[in-house]
Chains A and B, each alone.
Chain A
Amino acid sequence: MTDTITIDDHQVPFEAGQTIMEAARAAGLYIEHLCYNPAYQPHGSCKLCSVKVDGVIQTACTMPAIAGQKVESDSPEMKSRRKTLVEMIFAEGNHYCAFCIKSGSCDLQALAYHLDMHENSFNHRYPVRVIDASHPDLILDHDRCIFCGLCIRASRDQDHKNVFTMAGRGKATRLAVNSETGKLGDSTIAADDAAAHVCPVGAIMPRRGAYSTPIGERYFDARGIDEIDNASGKL
């Protein structure tokens, strides 16, 4: 007999070693997430996939599935908590959807739509961050970085280049580039690296091609994020 966990009203089978997120995805259930990408080790940092496991809040992407768990995910309380987290991410950075080249294909924006976010309950910080335009093929716009660490994992585990790291703590946290000058242009990243295409928001974007997809045909124009999962690297 296969072991199962209960996610909301669904009996979900799982294999040994799977996380709650993996079991849910295999069963076709969507749990909101930003820093999770099935291609990489889970990070558990964005907290969007927080679920209640037997009454205790855990991140679904890191919590192993254990037979008999009762998982609460698609409830008004968890949705509300996730919406608050998305609001915090918007308030923490500089996310100007109106003229962002990632608009329409952005996981953060799509999640805000999905969670019915119309405004922000938090005061915007408007942090001063500087764009790194030193690379001939890529732009690193720190304004839009949400510190999901996907580029770090992609560069380390897939490209084996270790181009990115997280520096600083708390509100001084920033994405740092591993090069002598700290500039992307002096790093070993190349335009076709996985790290150059994994960003779920518009922080690491290819040059040339901005706004090339007309409104109406962008990744999330026709469907919600719960239907396509994530838009890493898409325009």
Chain B
Amino acid sequence: MRSTTPQGNCDVIQREPGQKIRIASCSLAGCFGCHMSMLDIDELVVEVVHHLEYCRGPLNDVRELRDVDVGVVEGALCNEDNVKVLEQFRANCDLLVAVGACAINGGLPAMRNHFGLTACLKEAYLDAEGVVNPEIPRDAELPRLLNRVRPIQEVVKVDYFLPGCPPPAAAFTELFTALIEGREPAFDEDMVRFD
């Protein structure tokens, strides 16, 4: 059993007055549904911009990652690039938040663990109906696939978990509000849903 310290490190973020909390996000093997839910915080966004600075992620297409307070990670690990990005996030973020079913238990991408990598590639690129010029892509630019899809906490330590597919906007609201108020987030029952 791995030792994780979930839901209990919010006080590590120390801010000078007027200094914003720096947030970064990424979607690994995910569908961006969690990001959509994160954007669904409605009018809180007006408050959030005064306190939080979104410094890196798919929403602003910035790749640079340093001195980040909170990293929000959506999606499972399905290729080597996912692992690299995740490790960069862990190294540069004081707190790491796993959001969504894929990040927490592999979710939909983990369904391929049933079949094995070779069988999946064969089915997708060689044998499937309607495939033209059957060939498994091998371009050096393409990240190599992992044999098995994995949740992120099997590779790095994760501080907070927001389960759900996606996590409800209320969970993000509570997370951001807690960060702004400098307290531990308290997720009500209706914010913790696996579907």
B-binding residues in A (CB < 8 A): 84, 90, 94-100, 103-104, 109, 112-113, 116, 118-124, 126, 128, 215, 224
CB distance from A210 to the nearest CB of B (A): 13
Q: Given A95, A116, A124, which contacts B151 in the complex, CB threshold below 8 Å?
A: A124
Q: Once the chains bind, are A121 and B98 in contact (CB under 8 Å)?
A: no
**CB–CB B195/A124 < 8 A:** no
With A98-B165, A118-B192, A119-B161 known to touch, is A124 a contact of B110 (CB < 8 Å)?
A: yes
Say which residue of A84, A100, A112, A119 sits within 8 Å of B98 (CB atoms): A119
Q: Do A126 and B189 touch (CB < 8 A)?
A: no
In the complex, the answer to whether B1 meets A96 with C-beta atoms within 8 Å is: no
A122 CB, nearest partner CB in chain B, Å: 6
A118, B195: Cβ atoms under 8 Å?
no
Other A-B pairs beyond A113-B194, A128-B113, 4, CB < 8 Å: A90-B105, A99-B195, A113-B193, A120-B151
Known: A98-B194, A112-B194. A119 touches B107 (CB 8 A): no
Task: Please give, as numbers and ranges, the residues of chain B lying within 8 Å of A113 by CB-CB distance.
Answer: 189, 192-194
What residues of chain B have their CB less than 8 Å away from a CB belonging to chain A? 1-4, 6-7, 98, 101, 104-108, 110-111, 113-114, 148, 150-151, 153-154, 158, 161-163, 165, 187, 189, 192-195
Given A126-B110, A126-B148, answer yes or no on A119-B194 (Cβ-Cβ < 8 Å): no
Give Cα A128 to B119, complex, Å: 14
Q: A96-B111, A126-B148 are in contact. Are A119 and B153 (CB under 8 A)?
A: yes
Q: Which residue of A lies closest to B160 (CB)?
A: A118
Q: A109 CA to B192 CA in the complex, in Å?
A: 11
Check B6–A98 contact: CB distance below 8 A. Answer: no
Neighbour of A109 across the interface among B114, B161, B162, B194, CB < 8 A: B194
Q: Is the CB of A118 within 8 A of B163?
A: yes
Task: Please state if A96 and B6 are interface contacts (CB–CB under 8 Å).
Answer: no
Shortest B72–chain A CB gap in Å is 15
Evaluate contact between B165 and A97: CB separation under 8 angstroms. yes
Q: Are B2 and A123 in contact, CB atoms less than 8 angstroms apart?
A: yes
Known: A98-B195, A112-B194. A121 touches B1 (CB 8 A): yes
Q: Which 4 interchain pairs have the tightest Cβ spacing?
A: A97-B194, A98-B165, A119-B161, A126-B113
What is the CB-to-nearest-CB distance from A232 to chain B, in angstroms, rounded to a whole number? 19
Chain A to chain B contacts (Cβ below 8 Å), 28 pairs: A96-B101, A96-B105, A96-B108, A96-B110, A98-B107, A98-B194, A98-B195, A99-B108, A100-B195, A103-B194, A104-B195, A109-B194, A112-B194, A113-B189, A113-B192, A113-B193, A113-B194, A118-B187, A119-B105, A120-B105, A120-B151, A120-B153, A121-B1, A121-B4, A123-B154, A124-B106, A126-B110, A126-B148
Closest chain-A Cβ to B152's Cβ sits at a distance in Å of 10
Residues of B within 8 A of A215 (CB): 195
Interface centre among B6, B98, B194 (most CB of A within 10 A): B194
Chain A residues lying within 8 Å of B163, measured Cβ to Cβ, are: 118-119
Asked whether, in the complex, the Cβ of A126 is within 8 Å of the Cβ of B114, the reply is: yes
Contact of A96 among B107, B150, B158 (CB under 8 A): B107
Give A99 to B98 CA distance when docked, in angstroms. 19
